[in-house]
A and B are shown apart, each in its own frame.
Chain A
Amino acid sequence: MTVTAEPAVGKEAPPGATGPAPRRRTGRVRRIALPYLLLLPALLLELLVHLVPMVIGIVMSFKELTQFYIRDWGAAPWAGFDNYSLSVDFDAPIGKALLHSFFVTCAFTVLSVGLCWLLGTTAAVYMQENFRGRGFLRAVFLVPYALPVYAAVITWAFMFQRDNGLVNHVLHDQLGLTDSPSFWLIGDNSFVALLVVSVWKGWPFAFLIVMAGLQNIPKELYEAASIDGAGMLQQLRRITLPSLRPVNQVLVLVLFLWTFNDFNTPYVLFGKAAPEAADLISIHIYQSSFVTWNFGTGSAMSVLLLLFLLVVTGVYLVLTSRGRRAADV
């Protein structure tokens, strides 16, 4: 309220009036300072909750932090860039395993985000039509998003069990698609299992966001297009997708970050040691720091991951906004 009151007072002063200058200056100072004052609590909390641990994490990555020092990590000896060179020495097992995990995560992220987006968009477009049971279907689609992650993923873990799981029961016993029951939680198939759970868990979000985006496209555009003889596919390509562009820009970025950093799904599905084929980087770093108690190396890997994500996010934002500017012109 004060914010709007202050300029009003200023405006009421007659032009050219000398007036009491100090009072006007105080008002201006207050006007400028107020937003910062209001932001201050949030800023302090942000610093405490996010920046402080982040800085600590970066400091830790330069230390030789093992079980001998975790009680007083400040006393751990400095390691210089040792933790970093260990992490990026791709000929040695630690670097090789990190690189492998990085590639697995990239492949996983591209597939998961792609499928989530495709499923979400398709469902949202079809749900635009008014038909009986639409409300019910919309609610059902959102169930995976509403379920607690742990409960949902552990149910999948049960379903993926080789001997007693539902997945093999259907694929092998009922449909006869495989010669023998397959392993889903160990070995190469674990990548597929992880992808299925991730997409199942992630696509309702895409569905929700795209559905919200679709509400903003004026119906007249479609009407005009159909009068001009545009079919459904053409309408999708010429109207829906371009109009969804700003929505998709945020959606894909958020899905990318969530999926790349996903820890809960692999941890609940596979435990502390994920199979090689599904060794996502988040769990790999967790194992490097918390399971093998090499906190220094784990922190260095985290910082490297952070730098990678920063670069990707930066490039993505630059590219997409440039694209949008070009489109605006």
Chain B
Amino acid sequence: MRRTRAAAASAVTVSLLAAVTACGGGSSADGGSNDSPKTLTYWASNQGPSIEADKKILTPELKKFEKQTGIKVKLEVVPWSDLLNRILAATTSGQGPDVLNIGNTWSASLQATGALLPWDAKNFGKIGGKDRFVESALGSAGEAGSDPAAVPLYSMAYALYYNKKMFEDAGISGPPATWDDLVADGKKISKDDKWALGAEGANLSENIHHVFVFAKQHGADFFDAEGKPDFTSDGAVAAVKQYVDLMGKDKVVAPGNAEYAQNQSLQDFAKDKTAMVLWQTAAATLKAHGMSDDEWGVAPVPVRSGTPGADTAVNSMVAGINMAVFKNTDNIDGAVKFVNFMTSVDEQTILNKTYGSIPPVKAAQQDPAFNTPALKVIRDTLAKSAAPLPQVANESQFETAVGTAVKELFADAAAGRPVTTASVKEKLDEAQQQMPKK
């Protein structure tokens, strides 16, 4: 009896051990080959309203590529929430797709794993050269000073979307140009269960994108020149506080937005509950929520009032999607051909038009479709006032650590707890100490 019990106990123990320590191993294989020249696997990020919609959009284009080259592309559209984990798993096991999409802010972090094919002059030569691409988009394709780890595919930038009817009802003639204006306008709008500005307080990436811009406007960065985390500088603290204060102190953001993480603020905007949102290319989603194009307007994201100093006119991060090739692909020539195809002027025009983004390929930007008032604002932002997020190997960790700190500060603000310079600094300090030391 006792032996049975001991056996049962050890069985429990073994499963337990396995459950808590299970992790994958890794293997390395350098460089790709051409062992399987007739097929490619492509992991596309979810760009459209749904995964099915993406498949519908991309499949005819992939057929075109197959017709041209005889290479069949197996498509898998991966939701954003899974993409980074899937890439990490593929990196660890060496069993990944041949070609994949990555969020451009992850470029340097993924570059550090050594799993992606570097785009040196030779590889760029095969897709028409580096000069075909917009400079700011290339700036978010890998660490400065090294060959990019990916090629820009779709570009986006933040803009201020405003609900024309709500502005009219509040007697406001046009979109605010500075944060002071936004707060002043916001106070006129924020009453009777209507709010001035939407936020996605529980979405870590969104939090990062916004506090990055605020930090730039305060003349600060979250990393120093050597790439070391510097989250607690006065500028960075002021930036985070200013963003959270929009809810806590200025009361122009609804407290409920503190738990938003699934683009609910766009729904509120379409339902005339929120007058403004800071968003990247929202047109397609607004349409899906039943809002016609003439019901909303687009303006550049506000900047600080007065003359805060040089290089403080940044009002967006360089947002976008890059295309990368897995280093150990079995079809390296085909993979490069596929990147060439997807970044051709024709495909860039078709795909960016469908997704409502801006082509990072200069020649494709000439198409009149990218000259609508909304896209013109985004194009100008990308050309003049957008900055890439820090292209450092620890970028991914920074998004989580600081993004979580902002999420918690929003939770405090929503609950009516004071958000002070000291409390912001404390949270950012905790975030910084969670960053890897090397």
Q: Which A residues are closer than 8 A to B by beta carbons?
A: 46, 49-51, 53-54, 56-58, 60, 64, 66-68, 70-75, 92-94, 97, 161-163, 181, 183, 185-188, 253, 257, 261, 271-273, 275-276, 287, 289-295, 298-299, 302-303, 305-306, 309-310, 313-314, 317, 321
Contacts and interface: CB of A to CB of B under 8 A. Distances in A.
Contacts of A92: 433
Given A72-B26, A186-B201, A306-B17, 11 more contacts: A53-B23, A57-B23, A58-B21, A93-B430, A161-B259, A185-B259, A186-B414, A287-B400, A293-B109, A298-B23, A309-B20
A242 B17 CA distance: 31
B21 A303 contact: yes
B259 A299 contact: no
A68 B393 contact: yes
B307 interface: no
Interface centre among A71, A181, A287, A293 (most CB of B within 10 A): A71
A317 B9 contact: yes
- Most A CB within 10 A of own CB, among B20, B81, B91: B20
B27 interface: yes
A293 B89 CA distance: 12
B18 A50 contact: yes
Interface in B397-427: 397, 400-401, 403-404, 407-408, 410-412, 414-415
B26 A74 contact: yes
Contact of A70 (B113, B261, B407): B113
B23 A60 contact: yes
Smallest CB-CB A-B distances: 4 pairs: A57-B21, A50-B18, A72-B28, A93-B433
A37 B13 CA distance: 23
B256 A162 contact: yes
A56 B18 CA distance: 10
A309 B13 CA distance: 9
B16 interface: yes
A274 to B, nearest CB: 9
Dominant secondary structure of chain A at its interface with chain B? helix
Contacts of A73: 25-26, 92
B387 interface: no
Nearest to B400: A291
B131 to A, nearest CB: 30
Given A186-B202, A293-B396, A317 B26 contact: no
B14 A51 contact: yes
A263 B316 CA distance: 36
B26 A70 contact: yes
Contacts of A272: 204, 400
Interface in B90-139: 91-92, 94, 109-110, 112-115
B12 to A, nearest CB: 6
Nearest to B94: A71
A100 to B, nearest CB: 11
Contacts of A58: 21
A13 B112 CA distance: 73
Contact of A275 (B12, B20, B408): B408
Contact of B411 (A57, A72, A183): A183
Contacts of A70: 26, 88, 91-92, 113
Contacts of B21: 53-54, 57-58, 299, 302-303, 306
B91 A50 contact: no
26 contacts: A49-B18, A51-B18, A54-B21, A54-B22, A56-B23, A57-B22, A66-B438, A67-B109, A71-B91, A71-B115, A72-B26, A94-B433, A94-B434, A163-B254, A163-B256, A183-B259, A185-B202, A186-B410, A188-B415, A272-B400, A275-B411, A292-B397, A298-B23, A303-B20, A306-B20, A313-B12
